[in-house]
Amino acid sequence: MVAADGAGLLGLPFDETAARLAAAGIRPVHTAACWRVLYRDAPVAELPARLRTLFEAAGPSQLADPPIAARTDSRDGATTKYLLRLDDGQQIETVIMGYPGRFTACVSTQVGCAMGCVFCATGQMGFVRNLSAADIVAQVRFVARQLAARGERLRNVVLMGMGEPLHNYDAVMQALAVVSDPHGFGISPTRITVNTVGLVPGILRMAAERRPYSLGVSLHGSTEAERAALVPVSRRWPLADVLDACRAYCAETGRRIFFAWTLIDGVNDSPAHASRLAAQLVGIDAHVNLIELNPTPGYAGRGASRPAAETFRRVIQDAGIPCTIRQRRGVDVAAGCGQLRAERQPPARTAQAMR
Ligand code: SF4
């Protein structure tokens, strides 16, 4: 693990970096130079000798990317999925998704996931451990470097890889403070999306703390029973509570919420499902993203047909709610979260899904 504790500098917010330097007898005026080395690949040689010594003591993972255990490219060239190896041997997925004129890093926040969504390869493997802020920032830096090598720039980050971000709240918020800081990557907070499957306390905490990031909420079901069958954690935080939290979030922040809905053939893809979803979203500033199911070996369901997806979208739009069908980003590279790791590293279930 690339830990942001001990002597580590990677993943520390700017003011904490300054404090770390001060504790080592280095003047805080050097903090900006330290961040240029950490996040903009400035040469270490530019740093004062004492700061160079601090980097050496912190170890090579402060500056080196996690090793690539596997890589797959989609046939259309738009999506590249990496399996990155952490110091403890665990592997996590990080994806570069290319869209016209922009690139997005899809990063992981946990090894495995405790939420147990039945159609998700990460959910099927169970929870292994949280990532540290440094582990999360290291993925963003990895993608920024990969894109820089192609002459491109990273502009968007979405926390939709392995894990439930709000189940690892503190590390995630620390990492995002670094990712959005103009001293480092300087990615606009509005271009950073935290996607949750509906952890009510986390949604309310983001609102109360006025976190400036975009919020995505995955629903997948428009009744309690429907959702519970796909998202076991909804037994703990029912749909009604999730939607109440979303209303509170909108009222507190004035921001739109992006709702994700994985379309599964014959399960949740009918016009009736769409009508119920639209009715549930009354009073919420909502945008609905429809996602075709990525097939996984552990779930028998199939993705909805294109006509069914189009009809679903029309029903949502006719209710006055913006709705898009998200392109499946590189189904041929096992692009659903957890699929590449499930293929390459055997499951290591160490905790039960939250129910
Ligand atoms: Fe976890 Fe997200 Fe997969 Fe659900 S869909 S099991 S929240 S990683």
Tens-place pLDDT, residues 268-284: 999 999 999 999 999 99
Whether the Cβ atoms of residue 55 and residue 63 lie closer than 8 Å to each other: yes
- List the strands of the sheet with 102-106, edge to edge: 68-73, 79-85, 91-99, 102-106, 156-159, 192-196, 214-218, 257-263, 286-292, 323-326
Active site (annotated) includes residue 292: no
**196 has which bridge partners?**
217
Q: For a substitution probing ligand 1, which of 122, 125, 130 has the most ligand atoms within 8 Å of its CB?
A: 122
Which residue out of 93, 164, 226, 292 is catalytically annotated?
93
The pTM for the full model equals: 0.92
139 vs 350, more confident: 139
Residue-wise DSSP of 67-134 = PEEEEEE-TTSSEEEEEEE-TTS-EEEEEEEEETTEEEEE--SEEE-SS--TT-HHHHH-EEEEPPHH
Query: What are the tokens at 175?
Result: 């990492």
HSE of 75, CA atoms in CB hemisphere, 13 A: 3
**Per-residue pLDDT, 82:** 96
115 vs 342 pLDDT, higher one: 115
For the cut 90, the answer to whether the pLDDT of residue 340 exceeds it is: no
Query: What per-residue confidence (pLDDT) applies to 4?
Result: 39
Given the CA of residue 163, which atom of ligand 1 is nearest to it?
8
| Among the listed residues 109, 91, 105, 114, the one whose alpha carbon sits nearest the alpha carbon of residue 171 | 109
Each residue of 215-237: pLDDT tens digit? Answer: 999 999 999 999 999 999 999 99
pLDDT tens for each residue of 148-186: 999 999 999 999 999 999 999 999 999 999 999 999 999
- Assign 196 to helix, strand or coil: strand
Please give the biggest Cα pair distance in the chain. Answer: 67
Domain boundaries, the chain: 14-62, 68-333
Q: Could you tell me if the CB of 230 is within 6 A of ligand 1? A: no
Q: Is the CB of 207 under 6 A from ligand 1?
A: no
Angle at the Cα of 92 from the Cα atoms of 258 and 15, rounded to 5 degrees = 70
Q: 68-333: CATH homologous superfamily?
A: Aldolase class I (3.20.20.70)
Q: How confident is the model at residue 310 (pLDDT cuts 50, 70, 90)?
A: very high
Give distance in angstroms: CA of 162 to centre of ligand 1. 7
For ligand 1, say whether the CB of 122 is within 6 Å of any of its atoms.
yes
User: Closest by alpha carbon to 81, among 68, 98, 90, 93?
Assistant: 93
Considering only CA atoms, which of 180, 157, 165 is closest in space to residue 106?
A: 157
Residue 328: pLDDT band with limits 50, 70, 90: low
Question: In this predicted structure, what is the pLDDT of residue 332?
Answer: 52
Ligand 1 contact, 113 CB (< 6 A): yes
Q: Is 179 in the pocket of ligand 1 (CB under 6 A)?
A: no
Ligand 1 center–CA 62 separation, angstroms: 29
Q: Is 93 one of the annotated active-site residues of the chain?
A: yes
193 phi, psi to nearest 5 deg: -115, 125
